[in-house]
Amino acid sequence: MSDEMVAALKKAAVAALAAGVTMFFQEYTRQQERSSRLASARR
């Protein structure tokens, strides 16, 4: 495998990791906002 191919694979792997972190955080933020809205409604 050429150095370029290794670099491309590594870049893709890091992008996939970043996407995984982002997906989690978006869902986490959505849940926090929902929980906050529910708490406000209860009050």
Measured distance CA(23)–CA(17) in Å, rounded: 10
Measured distance CA(38)–CA(43) in Å, rounded: 9
Give the nearest distance from C-beta 2 to other proteins in angstroms. Answer: 18
Regarding 12 and contact with other proteins (CB under 8 A), the answer is no
Q: Which is nearer to other proteins, 2 or 39 (CB)?
A: 39
Which of 39, 40, 41, 43 binds other proteins (CB under 8 A)? It is 39
Which of 6, 8, 36, 37 binds other proteins (CB under 8 A)? It is 36
Side-chain-side CA neighbours of 8 within 13 Å: the count stands at 5
